[in-house]
């Protein structure tokens, strides 16, 4: 993989991991549009490590609070369980969806989640912090977002808003939820790298891609926390809806892209 490709994939991974537009969906789309082969396992692992660094840097105070207030740590565990269960039960089916076959539907589902959350949450007068019920609900939404095109951050924030969680709190807890999700991915992929000895031929491209993922992820988190606190998510809903319709039209009508 060349340096230019690693920069593009790193930036896309970092930005879309935390914007409500689906990082997995954009990477699958990018690979199909440009005819890129799937990134090396080690490279993919390092991109996830870069986004993990971004979360730790931005959310370090909230991470410390998890240990100062064990109940918050318990809520994070509750929120993580649904994705673990779904992964264990449907691992091979989920992996099969990364060809892009269901990508358009995933983008459209994200648009529905974001729009529905804004419409339904507008009726809620009193906002609260994350509690066990909301943590579980956001965790279920994170499990749905295991499929490409369905945004993890968008789904979990949407779930929090519908369940009455404050806007800033929903975004902050969503990004905390990404910690075990990304860390789990890094550990599992790291094991595969060790087992297959899947080290990259070009270390420099991997380092640059990782740095791009970390930097772009840092700004994406900052941007989203500030945005969700004050603005609606309709703009992102329109974007992923247009993207989803375009993908479906190409798959069924135009055939401009050679889908795997």
At 174, the pLDDT band (50, 70, 90 cuts) reads very high
The 10s digit of each residue's pLDDT in 178-224 is 999 888 888 877 777 677 765 655 788 889 999 999 999 999 999 99
The 10s digit of each residue's pLDDT in 30-72 is 878 777 655 566 777 788 889 999 999 999 999 999 988 899 9
Residue 95 CA to residue 107 CA, distance in Å, equals 17
Over its C-alpha atoms, the chain yields an Rg (Å, rounded) of 18
- Contacts (Cβ under 8 Å, ≥6 apart) of 76: 66, 135, 173, 176, 177, 179, 180
Extents of the domains making up the chain: 3-254
């Amino acid at each position: 993989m060349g340096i230019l490709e690693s920069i593009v994939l790193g930036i896309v991974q970092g930005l879309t991991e935390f914007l409500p537009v689906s990082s997995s969906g954009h990477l699958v789309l990018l690979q199909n549009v440009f005819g890129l082969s799937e990134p090396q396992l080690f490279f993919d692992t390092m991109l996830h490590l870069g986004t993990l660094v971004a979360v730790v840097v931005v959310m370090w105070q909230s991470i410390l609070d998890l240990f100062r207030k064990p109940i918050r740590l318990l809520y994070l565990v509750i929120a993580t369980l649904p994705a673990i269960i779904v992964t264990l039960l449907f691992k091979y089916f989920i992996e099969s969806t990364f060809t892009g076959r269901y990508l358009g539907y995933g983008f459209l589902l994200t648009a529905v989640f974001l729009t529905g959350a804004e419409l339904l949450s507008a009726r809620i007068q009193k906002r609260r912090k994350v509690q066990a019920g909301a943590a579980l609900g956001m965790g279920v939404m994170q499990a749905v977002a295991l499929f490409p095109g369905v945004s993890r951050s968008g789904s979990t924030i949407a779930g929090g808003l519908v369940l009455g969680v404050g806007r800033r709190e929903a975004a902050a807890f969503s990004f905390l939820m990404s910690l075990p999700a990304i860390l789990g991915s890094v550990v599992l992929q790291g094991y595969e790298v060790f087992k297959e000895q899947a080290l990259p031929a070009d270390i420099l491209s991997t380092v640059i891609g990782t740095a791009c993922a970390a930097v772009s992820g840092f700004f994406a988190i900052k941007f989203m926390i500030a945005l969700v606190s004050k603005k609606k998510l309709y703009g992102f809903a329109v974007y992923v809806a247009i993207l989803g319709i375009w993908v479906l039209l190409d798959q069924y009508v135009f055939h401009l892209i050679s889908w795997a």
